[in-house]
Structure 1
């Protein structure tokens, strides 16, 4: 993972689960010479899925980094999970990558998790290449997937290839830039493709698509466009340069065809990564709090973002993306997020489960640092003489939780230590203590994530725990505007406590969180005590009044108050604000919010009616239907509380032929019956 003396591409591979993402990555390792044998997901021999749980379950759980060479360019590659429960890995990877390869299933097309990942890439302005995979499968259709991408993702998709042959007969692609056929005559990965003329039966179709390609991309170069209109055909190199400009600006997404499992289409994909995705110096970060954007300068003041924390037998590693400057072993850096100084112990270039020690890392590098004791995901590390803040990584809200407790008294301390380590590694996991039951509740994005976390406690940390049944992680909110006046007064013989606050609480739109505003004028409350008022409100919001779930989506406004010269303190104002907030929560018609999931069911047509009826019984709202090959896709919104055990019922309704996927969509007001049942429980 070098600096600019060698061209660099920092990219991720993202996809819906089972689209062939890890298989594609394993082929990339083979063709670049990083691996001398091809790992197989089904056999548990993949290089990138090296965690025992990943190999056991046949899915990617943790993002894994590797550095590989291709035609003189260094590719720093991150393979990310496809399952929605581990979306935090995709989120934080996309935040630090310069480009991405999005893998699509040639049969299923645009799937729910692909949409989620695509929106994340839009948010972080990451240029993309689409690789439409599995074109050897029954029902695969390259151009249909391109149309789905444009319809469902709102993208301008630029096919650079057309598949030769369909389904089991898929054997190669037509390169629309060179107008040559690239044919893989055998499935053997060691057999290179053969370049030949475009098959006569495809010539007319290929010429039509090439004309559309040129009409689109040559708009990037006025001189080339004018020459083209005068009858001059641009060179392949000039066309590629125009394609690259459009990719970097976000104007379009190139689409390539292949079947990674059958070793077809991977080499042209690697060529496209080098040709079209940005180098570090092509990207300027506009998300800094400085007056100007952050250019990738190896000789400037150091600036990096910590995007992942991982612990293993060698200690805690913090993965960083260096945006500017360089970091040497032993250097002291400022964690601008916490204001603390940290010291870099050892620096490593990471290759999946292997590491190579480095003396320094530089702008454009993705590397691991050992020795950063307090740095967390999303923290900005920088030169203390040039402090700045980079945009933090957004963390999704958990939707499901389980109660966990140590199996023996001897496990209490190890469990606490293990949980703290796991929460530092995975910020999408949360922990809270239920004051009424005394239970420790671990919450996350789904049942699978919590299963993996519990197994990790046992396998990696040696802690045996008892686990309760999964429960929905509800939220609470306010429905009315209320004002409260509270005086905290306590006298115990020594110095007293006094704080007076008048607060207004009002509901906000869903997803707005908790906001605080002070309207104190004239010194009614000293300025140094106002942060304590906000802290008290936020502490009280951690436990609502209906069933002890966090209270969200409200604004608290500090209107007035009073203080005592001797007896007032930050603690007194924090206690007063917390008591006032609890009083307001009870008065403001508290409501229960339940997580609602976007559910996609793929079912044979003969089971359609039964599946829709079952979703309706689960309080689901069916939003639409579409055909996918011979199957029907149902899109619905369903409360998470109604989805426990759904897979068993779905299999029974469809004779085992239907499948589903779901992901969190929004919090919505729960019906009165649900609220009463949750409160009673």
Structure 2
């Protein structure tokens, strides 16, 4: 970095390969939607020779965002791997969506990577560092993942590298803002007609060299006498920041004593500090202009990745056990070690079938070998547990729509595996004679319900299979067959997540579905004691139907269900027909007695009745029991019971008032708050479920993307009269 020179070693049309873990860098790009992550990936691919012109691979296809949905929505919606080669190092660039609805794809990228590149747009001002981006930064900090920042969109009017760098220092520096410092300062050319001066080059703060990109190819030059004073303050601050992170305790004293520290020593200490995650350099980048071979700052960024970011050898692998839970020795990144790989993403190709993106943590994965597939299982999300052997298909490196064949994938590398029909995201691949299971990684809980139904009979026949494949691809989605409302419900992370899921069902699996209003599982109960008489008497020639029963119904405490008590005396209802009355009562209770919701928490007592020696039957007394319950319901107030959920909302302190006010407006009861550290507050509340169907979307808007919540069922309780009346009117309409 700073005074190094590197050469391109990639080539368009050839797969990037790695022969040892030390020659691999796995880097995930993180940033707000629109910050320029995908454009930056394309600029790096162009600089390494992986593509022959901006955004195009050798066969003419787009490098990334090639999915039909991404083209239509003009944004990334899935994790993309772009492998490139630079100076003998294979760099696996993991491009993640910036929109909050696709945080599952981001988490997959974090799992697969060893370092993170945070991309911040100078044109978005303070919005360029969104709350969600700050949360990801904190997640990376918690696990010690090395991070660097890249400021993009410097060509925009009023864009300021200096102002955005200072904002990054304040936002990400925490107690040590000098751990976030630029390595280069942008140089601007002559102002254009609009008065805006374009960035044409960079000046290295350590090397004190000018790197000029004005010609489309990076050239080095000696700075003019007037340029050096412009970088003196920033250079001194950077040197002090590097020395403060140095393992050489004498370095600071020597520097303060006036000694000129050798640039190579500073670069060595800088690279070590970056690799261990204690120093976070800031760089600038811009895409290549038409006809240019290099985008601004791409060489400097590649030097940082290859020289400063850690190899897989330096990152600790996830903990492993046997599939039965027995602890195993910790994995090391050794190509000769036991095979341990993880599926970080699952996708489907209409021609190839299922494709699994795999990170190899130990051993070497080869085509056509049999591996063991172990999974934790996510039954609540429609994912079965796995403990099976499968044959690995071809190994490949993705490049746009193309898949370039690989002979193997060594420890530390990433590869796509074809035809793993049982493996899903999060599953472990290991040797069949030495099965392993990796610790699970955190996945966000989908909290936006979307009820769907097949558009036609033809779609209905394909719906089950299509939904199964969709959920297998996306572990952040949960499929529910609601037994109370008889609805098929997809639980998603947000509206954009829902739109993409429904579009994939249509375009990828040929299943057209309609979204319908989501129904909450309401209940009914009696408000007071009541009595009813069921009379079912019919004579139409031959055997008739004769059954009369009298019942009394009284409400019970919550959770009591339906109790049936027999108090018939004198054989008014023959013993063989008493179970028939109970069956009819329970069947009617399941159908509801007022608005069509199940009746609960009542005691039904059979008091009296009449029978006929010839015309009475099991069916007649079932009907009489149902009629008696309906008559009893007509003579008293029926309460509608709604589910109440316990909600825990974690939100930044600045939004606590707005969130609590919003919960109150949803008929919620705040039961407590507590400080959670890091300027956040945990709000606990009880809210009717019918009021929070869209809370996943609304909370994101209220908290500017910083709020998170979870929910759990608490109980059913009576619904307010005015709300219940509205529900009844809708049921009768």
Question: How does the TM-score come out when normalised to structure 1?
Answer: 0.69
Partner of 1:35: 51
Distance 1:253 1:600 in 2: 27
The answer on whether the counterparts of 1:17 and 1:113 sit within 8 Å (CA) in structure 2 is no
Stretches of structure 1 lacking an aligned partner (at least 5 in a row): 475-481, 487-546, 549-587, 602-610, 622-636, 651-658
Partner of 2:474: 426
Q: Sort the Cα spacing of 1:470 and 1:14 in 2 relative to 1 into closer, same or farther, 3 A.
A: farther
The answer on whether the counterparts of 2:22 and 2:311 sit within 8 Å (CA) in structure 1 is no
RMSD between superposed Cα atoms in Å: 4.3
Matches within 5 A, 1:52-67: 52-67=68-83
Question: Paired residue for 1:140, among 135, 144, 159?
Answer: 159
Partner of 1:178: 207
Partner of 2:313: 281
Q: Sort the Cα spacing of 1:261 and 1:664 in 2 relative to 1 into closer, same or farther, 3 A.
A: farther
Q: Sort the Cα spacing of 1:306 and 1:38 in 2 relative to 1 into closer, same or farther, 3 A.
A: same
Distance 1:675 1:241 in 2: 67
Question: Paired residue for 1:436, among 469, 484, 488?
Answer: 484
Q: What's the CA shift for 1:16?
A: 0.5
The answer on whether the counterparts of 2:169 and 2:181 sit within 8 Å (CA) in structure 1 is no
Distance 2:653 2:200 in 1: 32
Partner of 1:91: 107
Q: Sort the Cα spacing of 1:640 and 1:277 in 2 relative to 1 into closer, same or farther, 3 A.
A: farther
Distance 1:469 1:484 in 2: 28
Post-superposition Cα deviations, 1:10-45, rounded to whole Å, max 9, x if no partner, equal 1121211000111111111111111112139xxx98
Partner of 2:421: 373
Question: Paired residue for 1:350, among 376, 398, 408?
Answer: 398
Partner of 2:504: 456
Does residue 158 (structure 1) correspond to residue 181 (structure 2)? The answer is yes
Matches within 5 A, 1:535-550: none
Q: What's the CA shift for 1:184?
A: 2.6
Partner of 1:297: 334
Matches within 5 A, 1:231-242: 231-242=258-269
Q: Sort the Cα spacing of 1:668 and 1:420 in 2 relative to 1 into closer, same or farther, 3 A.
A: closer
Q: Sort the Cα spacing of 1:248 and 1:348 in 2 relative to 1 into closer, same or farther, 3 A.
A: same
Partner of 1:220: 246
Distance 2:342 2:521 in 1: 30
Q: Sort the Cα spacing of 1:473 and 1:83 in 2 relative to 1 into closer, same or farther, 3 A.
A: farther
Post-superposition Cα deviations, 1:94-141, rounded to whole Å, max 9, x if no partner, equal 111111211001143411231233234334432112101112223323
Distance 2:463 2:328 in 1: 46
Distance 2:717 2:171 in 1: 36
Partner of 1:323: 361
Does residue 252 (structure 1) correspond to residue 308 (structure 2)? The answer is no
Q: Sort the Cα spacing of 1:287 and 1:207 in 2 relative to 1 into closer, same or farther, 3 A.
A: farther
Q: What's the CA shift for 1:164?
A: 2.5
Distance 2:44 2:221 in 1: 24
The answer on whether the counterparts of 1:400 and 1:473 sit within 8 Å (CA) in structure 2 is no
Stretches of structure 2 lacking an aligned partner (at least 5 in a row): 1-16, 190-195, 290-294, 322-326, 376-385, 523-556, 562-596, 599-640, 669-682, 684-690
Partner of 2:136: 117
Does residue 389 (structure 1) correspond to residue 437 (structure 2)? The answer is yes
Q: What's the CA shift for 1:71?
A: 2.1
Distance 1:385 1:277 in 2: 35
Q: Sort the Cα spacing of 1:670 and 1:412 in 2 relative to 1 into closer, same or farther, 3 A.
A: closer
Distance 2:719 2:106 in 1: 34
Distance 1:670 1:140 in 2: 48
The answer on whether the counterparts of 1:618 and 1:642 sit within 8 Å (CA) in structure 2 is no
The answer on whether the counterparts of 2:699 and 2:707 sit within 8 Å (CA) in structure 1 is no
Q: What's the CA shift for 1:599?
A: 10
The answer on whether the counterparts of 2:21 and 2:411 sit within 8 Å (CA) in structure 1 is no
Distance 1:119 1:471 in 2: 37
Q: The residue matched to 2:34 in structure 1 has which SS?
A: coil
Q: What's the CA shift for 1:221?
A: 3.6
Distance 2:75 2:106 in 1: 14
Q: The residue matched to 1:220 in structure 2 has which SS?
A: coil
Aligned length: 535
Q: What's the CA shift for 1:485?
A: 11
Distance 2:298 2:667 in 1: 41
Q: The residue matched to 2:206 in structure 1 has which SS?
A: coil
Q: What's the CA shift for 1:664?
A: 5.0
The answer on whether the counterparts of 2:320 and 2:436 sit within 8 Å (CA) in structure 1 is yes
Distance 1:473 1:272 in 2: 55
Larger Rg: 2
